[in-house]
Chain A
Amino acid sequence: MNFDLSEEQQMLQDSVARFVQDNYELDKRTELVASKQGFSDDNWKTIAELGWLGMPFSEADGGFGGNQVDTMVMMEQMGKGLVCEPFFASIVLGGGALKRAANAEQKAALLPGVIDGSRQLALAYAELQARFDLHDVTTTARAEGDGYVLNGHKSMVLNAATATEIVVSARTSGGQIDESGISLFIVDPKADGVKLENFPTVDGLRASEISFDNVALTANSLLGELDGGFAVLNATANDGILALAAEAVGALEVLYKDTVAYTQEREQFDHPLSDFQVLQHRMVEMFMEYEQCKSLLYRATLESVQGDDATAQRNVHALKHLIGKAGIFIGENAVQLHGGMGMTEELRVGHYFKRLLVIDSQFGNADFHLQKFAA
Chain B
Amino acid sequence: MDIELSNEDLEFRNEVRAFFEENAYKNGEDFNKWRMDWFAKAREKGGWDVPKWPKEFGGPGWTPTQHYIWEQETATANLPWDLPFGLGMLAPVLMAHGSKEQQDRFLPDIRDRKVNWCQGYSEPGAGSDLAGLKTKAELSADGTHYVVNGTKIWTTMAHIADWIFCLTRTDDSGIKQQGITFLLFPMKQEGIEVKPIITLGGSHSVNTVFLTDVKVPVENRIGEEGQGWTYAKGLLQHERTGLAGISRSLVALEKLKEQAASVPRGNATLMDDPAFRGKIAELEVDLWATEYTELRSLASAAAGAAPGPESSILKLKGTEIQQRIQKLTVEAGGIYSASWGAKPAGPAFAKNGMGGYMSSRAYTIYGGASEVQKDVIAKNVLQIKRSSK
Contact = CB atoms under 8 A, between A and B. Distances in A.
A67 interface: no
Decide if the interface of chain B is mainly helix, strand, loop or mixed: mixed
Contact of A362 (B275, B331, B335, B344): B335
B255 interface: no
Contact of B334 (A132, A202, A207, A339): A132
A344 B341 contact: no
B265 A131 contact: yes
Contacts of B346: 128, 155-156
9 closest cross-chain pairs (CB), A and B? A367-B275, A268-B129, A197-B344, A201-B338, A209-B344, A209-B345, A350-B200, A358-B338, A269-B129
Contacts of B129: 268-270
B266 interface: yes
Contacts of B340: 201-202
A346 B206 CA distance: 13
Given A340-B154, A370-B275, A365 B198 contact: no
B339 A131 contact: no
Interface in B121-163: 122, 125-129, 132, 153-154
Given A340-B366, A343-B361, A131 B198 contact: no
A343 B199 contact: yes
Contacts of B343: 199
Nearest to A196: B344
Contacts of A269: 128-129, 132
Contacts, number: 128
A336 to B, nearest CB: 6
B264 A268 contact: no
B374 interface: yes
Interface in A265-297: 267-270, 276, 278-279
B275 A336 contact: no
Contact of B361 (A155, A335, A345, A346): A335
A343 B365 contact: yes
A128 B336 CA distance: 9
B72 to A, nearest CB: 30
Given A131-B263, A202-B337, A340-B127, 9 more contacts: A132-B334, A267-B125, A270-B132, A276-B371, A336-B370, A339-B369, A340-B122, A340-B366, A357-B337
A357 B361 CA distance: 13
Interface residues of B, number: 53
Interface of B: 122, 125-129, 132, 153-154, 197-200, 206, 263-266, 270, 273-276, 279, 327, 330-331, 333-346, 354, 357-358, 361-362, 364-366, 369-371, 374
B374 A131 contact: no
Most buried by A among B273, B279, B335: B335
Given A344-B199, A345-B199, A361 B334 contact: yes
A131 B334 contact: yes
Nearest to B331: A365
A199 B374 CA distance: 42
B228 to A, nearest CB: 19
Contacts of B206: 340
B161 to A, nearest CB: 18
24 contacts: A128-B264, A132-B334, A133-B266, A155-B346, A199-B339, A199-B342, A199-B343, A202-B339, A202-B340, A203-B338, A209-B344, A276-B371, A328-B327, A336-B364, A336-B365, A336-B369, A336-B371, A339-B128, A340-B365, A342-B365, A344-B199, A353-B200, A357-B337, A367-B273
